Copies of this chain bind each other. A is one copy, B any other.
Amino acid sequence: MSVTARGSLAEALSLRGIRLTRQRRLLLEVLDNAPGHLNARELLQAARRTDPTIDRATVYRTLHLLKTGGLVDELDLLHLEGEEHYYERRRTGDHVHLGCPQCGTISEFETDLVLELSQEVARREGFTATGIRIEVRGICKACSEAQVG
């Protein structure tokens, strides 16, 4: 489980003089092994199952660090429910999030259009993208079939 990720993490952080603490390792491990997208509260709860002393403030401080360092992406999944943000490990391939307000499901979608967009932004605007967030709201397949069916 995520040994490589842990390796790259140590690299990525220690190079910048950022310490790899027990808590940071734990939080990234939780994010790696999480089935879906976690918000800060859920991340804290999950981490506390391993280390009951870890604090809310540490979670927020670590998330900030990981966001800035490009290791984690922050999403709001269109705030389909609540105002919290959600977090996921940054992967190699960018992806789009599809949210269906009707059933509350979030699904993921990969497409070359994400890359195309960052290229077009660079070409036409001179803007060098470092991160892209695409979130689509709409009616998912299951919901639209259930409605007409």
Chain A interfacial positions (CB closer than 8 Å to B): 74, 76, 78-79, 85, 96, 98, 100, 107, 109, 111, 113, 116-118, 120-121, 124-141, 144-145
* Secondary structure dominating the interface of A: mixed
CB neighbours of A120 from chain B (8 A): 111, 113
Q: Which residue of B lies closest to A141 (CB)?
A: B126
Other 6 A-B pairs with CB < 8 A, given A121-B138, A127-B139 = A100-B127, A109-B124, A128-B144, A129-B138, A131-B138, A132-B135
**Top 5 nearest A-B pairs by Cβ distance?**
A126-B141, A129-B138, A131-B137, A128-B139, A130-B138
CB neighbours of A98 from chain B (8 A): 121, 125, 127
CB neighbours of A144 from chain B (8 A): 126, 128
CB neighbours of A100 from chain B (8 A): 127
